[in-house]
Amino acid sequence: MNYTLHFGAVWASFDHLLGGLAIGLGLAVAAVAIGTLIGLLSAFASVSHSRLLRAISGTYVLLIRNIPLLVLVLLVYFALPATGIRLDKYESFIGSLALYAGAYLTEVFRAGLLSVPKGIVEAGRAIGLTRLQTNLYVVAPVMLRNSLPSLGNTFIGMFKDSSIAAAIAIPELTFEARKINVDTFRVVETWSVASGLYIAACFTIAALLRMLERRFPKF
Amino acid sequence: MDAFLAQLWIARWPIFDGFLMTIGISVGAIVFGTILGCIVGIQLVFGSFLVKLPFRLYVDIMRGTPLLVLILAAFYVPAVLGLSLSAPQAGTLALGLFAGAHIGELVRGSLQAIPPGQIEAGRAIGLRFPQILANVLLPQALRTALPPWINTGVELIKGSSLLSMIGVGELLLKTQEVIGRNFMTIQFYVFAGILYLVVNIALDLLGKSLERRLGARL
Amino acid sequence: MILDETARPLLDIRALRKNFGAVEILKGVDLAVRPKEVVSIIGSSGSGKTTLLRCVNLLEEFQGGDIILDGETIGYKTAGGKRVRLRDAELSRQRAMTGMVFQSFNLFPHLTAAGNVMLGLRKVKKMGKDEAFAIAEKWLSRVGLGARLNHYPSQLSGGQQQRVAIARALAMNPKLVLLDEVTSALDPELVQEVLTTIKGIADDGATLLIVTHEMRFAREVSDRIVFMEQGRIAEEGTPEVIFGEGRSQRLNEFLKSSRH
Ligand SMILES: Nc1ncnc2c1ncn2[C@@H]1O[C@H](COP(=O)(O)OP(=O)(O)OP(=O)(O)O)[C@@H](O)[C@H]1O
Ligand SMILES: [Mg+2]
């Protein structure tokens, strides 16, 4: 057990790690943005009167939540070209992660929808809002505010899952760390710095989210 | 379809081996993680400040780091420290440490949800603290922690697929090897996906039925 | 209040039938409310009072009879000899003609007091922001909350919330206002401020259909009292008749049991 720490080699490539971190954040932002749209549609479908829509939403969530993200990523990346759809690796990964996030967000928003008191929906209808207007101006804002903490947690989860993009050679943080690890063999330093960066980013995001939550009135 | 079935027949043993490896490693990790998690959870609730600190640190590091990073670190780091672990061992270690942190938080949460009167009641009948823990607190805590514990199991099975990236011959790696031979990319990825799906849904259903049964008793 | 006895009723409910599943809750209700009239519905729990109001506001479907509001049959039309529910947009338009105040206030939690009043004005009446705000300010002042325009519901007491809800209903300039036990969820010391507000609105000439357990208030504010029993209107008359000495045996029993 004779290992002396030398961070020099890792610091020399620190900008690569930071660049990787930025890519990871970008992937997560894009995926959660698309995933939020998917999640909203799917959540409204899951509480709709249509049995078909409910079944579609339920099946989607069941499938995605029980399959490893890596399998989904590889399937989309390697199998989609066979069907004639050409995506670059970024588009492909964002698509996969968005599908993944969408399933988790379906449950987040569904819980949010069920937490909206029936009374305020009726109050909206009573002043003459249409069903769509009620959903838009009453249900959605209340549901989104109630879902904010879970939405934030999902974002942090997706940011961590962006590490899986390394599997298709997207140069995000984990990919860069592995490269430095193999190039320099400063194993302990590389992984502690990489892990430290992830942790710092997660804590920063969490702190920002708490600030955001405080800025909006609580119901 | 026939072509696929023919190839599946040829590849049945590697895929079966991979499947067993996936299950074996997940079981190993959940056992390790549960023991670790119980210790962590108990210390996080009842430990002194100085004891809590390292456990809190451990939990936060595990929860702030992507599982893949933990796996790669567990694969590369022990060797330079003079510890030789095989890839499956390193993988089980990473998954187990990951699970330990999550289960630790579960145990902490459910221990804290138990009304303090329970400890006092235990004292009143003359039990010492370890006895209270073993006979009063843990049985209650484990019950509320059960559904999320099952969910951790599902996460581990899914997470074990990442071990393909350090060369552990689990289901995904075996599937990739098979695809390398017959190029039936979609079919075999989908097949692997279905296997994961079946196991995880079965686990999920098991969890729900246990939950119902416990719910009836509480 | 002087009422024109010959005026066409503003609200005309004819043989209204409503069931939940196999259970018939309203068993043929006939009730007319004239413009500017204040009618209170009393009756024991489960007699169908809330259900009746909800049918009038089209929050419930009903299986038989007609509800005619200001000459327009609402909720349903006959097409090819069949009775069909109107489309959502139509229902919304008709709902906007009645205001409803709920027992549990049901304010929009993400909007301020002014925002609660303005939403319907902006989205249903398509008013501009300034015009809507002016109306909101007017009505919130009217219910004594001119200083609370920018408060969120969570920052208001129950009585204040209910007054915002009253302002929200009235700002839409409805032909008819429905009030369902609007003081039942309030602490006793907050009841009076809400009742006083309603009394003021009644005196201003609004047409009100009120469900209440506050007998004294009903007697004071109403032109007419309707007593419901098991999904039917059992008796109706002026407060003097309903609460007077010559009242019937069953009404007597109800009033005795409802006195706290
Ligand atoms: N959504 C529903 N589904 C089934 N039954 C219902 C529903 N809503 C009301 N009921 C039933 O209809 C009957 C009348 O209810 P309603 O709420 O109209 O009574 P109410 O006169 O307002 O009573 P209260 O004084 O307690 O408010 C009750 O027996 C009630 O159980
Ligand atoms: Mg009622």
Instruction: Please report which ligand is nearest the Cα atom of C230.
Output: 1
Q: Is the pLDDT of residue B110 over 70?
A: yes
Mean pLDDT, residues A172-198? 94
Chain C contact for A137 (CB, 8 A cutoff): yes
Q: Are C26 and C68 in contact (CB under 8 A)?
A: no
Looking at the fold, whether C55 and C165 belong to one and the same domain comes out as no
Sheet arrangement for strand C72-73? C23-33, C11-20, C64-69, C72-73
Looking at the fold, whether C7 and C34 belong to one and the same domain comes out as yes
φ, ψ dihedrals at B28, nearest 5°: -55, -45
Instruction: Grade residue B135 by pLDDT with cuts at 50, 70 and 90.
Output: confident
Cβ–ligand 1 distance for C46 under 6 Å, the answer yes
Kindly tell me the burial class for residue A93, based on how many C-beta atoms sit within 10 Å of its own C-beta (0-12, 13-18, 19 or more): buried
Which residues does chain C have within 8 Å of residue A140's beta carbon, measured at their own beta carbons? none
**Residue C148 included in any domain:** yes
pTM: 0.86
Separation of first and last alpha carbons in chain A: 56
Chain A residue at shortest CA distance from C118? A127
Mean of all residue pLDDT scores within chain B: 92
* Closest approach atom of ligand 1 to CA C23: 5
Looking at the fold, whether C165 and C179 belong to one and the same domain comes out as no
Looking at the fold, whether C184 and C61 belong to one and the same domain comes out as yes
Domain of residue C65: give its range.
1-97+175-233
How far apart are alpha carbons C114 and C135 in whole angstroms?
Answer: 9
The alpha carbon of C42 and the centre of ligand 1 are apart by a number of angstroms equal to 14
Mean pLDDT, residues B58-81? 95
Token pair recorded at residue B11: 């590849």
C23-33 and C11-20 as β-strands: parallel, antiparallel, unpaired?
antiparallel
Looking at the fold, whether C26 and C82 belong to one and the same domain comes out as yes
Q: Is the pLDDT of residue C194 over 60?
A: yes
Q: At what angle do helices A14-46 and A187-215 cross, to 10 degrees?
A: 40
Looking at the fold, whether C126 and C84 belong to one and the same domain comes out as no
- Nearest C-alpha of chain A: how many angstroms from C241? 33
Q: Are A39 and A108 in contact (CB under 8 A)?
A: yes
Q: Is the pLDDT of residue C59 over 80?
A: yes
The alpha carbon of C243 and the centre of ligand 2 are apart by a number of angstroms equal to 21
For chain A, domains (ranges, CATH) are: 8-215 (1.10.3720.10)
Nearest CA to ligand 1 atom 29: C46
Q: Which chains touch B (3 or more CB pairs under 8 A)?
A: A
Mean pLDDT, residues C29-50? 95
Looking at the fold, whether C4 and C87 belong to one and the same domain comes out as yes
Q: Which chains touch C (3 or more CB pairs under 8 A)?
A: A
Q: What is the homologous superfamily of the domain B2-217 according to CATH?
A: MetI-like (1.10.3720.10)
- Nearest C-alpha of chain A: how many angstroms from C243? 32
Chain C contact for A11 (CB, 8 A cutoff): no
**Residue C242 included in any domain:** no
Instruction: Grade residue B168 by pLDDT with cuts at 50, 70 and 90.
Output: very high
Angle at the Cα of B213 from the Cα atoms of B209 and B217, rounded to 5 degrees: 165
Chain A contact for B60 (CB, 8 A cutoff): yes
- Nearest in space to C19 (alpha carbons), one of C83, C63, C56: C63
Mean of all residue pLDDT scores within chain A: 93
Q: Is the pLDDT of residue A219 over 80?
A: no
Looking at the fold, whether C165 and C188 belong to one and the same domain comes out as no
Mean pLDDT, residues A152-175? 96
**Ligand 1 test: best mutation among C16, C24, C50, most atoms within 8 Å of CB?**
C50
Residues of chain A with pLDDT > 70: what percent? 98
Query: Would you say the ipTM is above 0.85?
Result: yes
Instruction: Grade residue A218 by pLDDT with cuts at 50, 70 and 90.
Output: low
**Residue C88 included in any domain:** yes
**Residue C104 included in any domain:** no
Q: Are A69 and A78 in contact (CB under 8 A)?
A: no
Angle at the Cα of A147 from the Cα atoms of A143 and A152, rounded to 5 degrees: 150
Mean pLDDT, residues A163-181? 96
Question: Which among A119, A138, A141 is the nearest to C102, CB-wise?
Answer: A119
Chain A contact for C210 (CB, 8 A cutoff): no
pLDDT in tens, A51-74: 999 999 999 999 999 999 999 999
In this prediction, residue C106 carries a pLDDT of 95
Mean pLDDT, residues B94-122? 93
In this prediction, residue A98 carries a pLDDT of 98
Q: Is the pLDDT of residue C1 over 80?
A: no
In this prediction, residue C2 carries a pLDDT of 54
- Ranges A1-15, A137-151, A163-177, A183-197: which has the least confidence: A1-15
Q: Is the pLDDT of residue C4 over 80?
A: no
Instruction: Grade residue A185 by pLDDT with cuts at 50, 70 and 90.
Output: confident
In this prediction, residue C256 carries a pLDDT of 84
Which residues does chain A have within 8 Å of residue C109's beta carbon, measured at their own beta carbons? 120, 142, 217, 219
Torsion, CA C161, CA C162, CA C163, CA C165, rounded to 10:
90
**Residue C246 included in any domain:** no
Sheet arrangement for strand C176-180? C98-101, C176-180, C208-211, C38-43, C224-229, C232-237
Instruction: Please report which ligand is nearest the Cα atom of C48.
Output: 1
Query: Quick one: three-class SS letters along chain A?
Result: CCCCCCCHHHHHCHHHHHHHHHHHHHHHHHHHHHHHHHHHHHHHHHCCCCHHHHHHHHHHHHHHHCCCHHHHHHHHHHHHHHHCCCCCHHHHHHHHHHHHHHHHHHHHHHHHHHCCCHHHHHHHHHCCCCHHHHHHHHHHHHHHHHHHHHHHHHHHHHHHHHHHHHHHCCCCHHHHHHHHHHHHCCHHHHHHHHHHHHHHHHHHHHHHHHHHHHHCCCC
Q: How far is CA B47 from CA B62, B104, B120, in A?
A: 20, 13, 18
Looking at the fold, whether C88 and C193 belong to one and the same domain comes out as yes
Sign of the torsion angle spanned by Cα atoms C1, C5, C7, C10: positive
Q: Do A126 and C59 touch (CB under 8 A)?
A: yes
Q: Is the pLDDT of residue B179 over 70?
A: yes
Q: Are C61 and C248 in contact (CB under 8 A)?
A: no
* Closest approach atom of ligand 1 to CA C47: 21
Mean pLDDT, residues A71-88? 88
Looking at the fold, whether C87 and C15 belong to one and the same domain comes out as yes
**Residue C240 included in any domain:** no
3-state secondary structure of B80: helix
Looking at the fold, whether C19 and C89 belong to one and the same domain comes out as yes
Q: Are B193 and A67 in contact (CB under 8 A)?
A: yes
Nearest CA to ligand 1 atom 27: C45
Question: Which among C105, C109, C120 is the nearest to A129, CB-wise?
Answer: C120
Q: Are B69 and A195 in contact (CB under 8 A)?
A: yes
Instruction: Please report which ligand is nearest the Cα atom of C41.
Output: 1
How far apart are alpha carbons B82 and A2 in whole angstroms?
Answer: 8
pLDDT in tens, C158-173: 999 999 999 999 999 9
Q: Is the pLDDT of residue C259 over 80?
A: no
Instruction: Grade residue C3 by pLDDT with cuts at 50, 70 and 90.
Output: low
In this prediction, residue A56 carries a pLDDT of 98
Chain A contact for C151 (CB, 8 A cutoff): no
In this prediction, residue C245 carries a pLDDT of 82
Q: What is the DSSP letter of C155?
A: G
E strand or H helix that includes residue C69: strand C64-69
**Residue C166 included in any domain:** yes
**Residue C251 included in any domain:** no
CATH number at residue C195: 3.40.50.300
* Closest approach atom of ligand 1 to CA C48: 18
* Closest approach atom of ligand 1 to CA C181: 27
Token pair recorded at residue C34: 């004239």
Looking at the fold, whether C126 and C18 belong to one and the same domain comes out as no
pLDDT in tens, C200-231: 999 999 999 999 999 999 999 999 999 999 99
Helices (H) and strands (E) in chain B, counts: 10, 0
Q: Do chains B and A touch (3 or more CB pairs under 8 A)?
A: yes
Q: Are A40 and A109 in contact (CB under 8 A)?
A: yes
Domain count, chain C: 2
Chain B residue at shortest CA distance from A156? B64
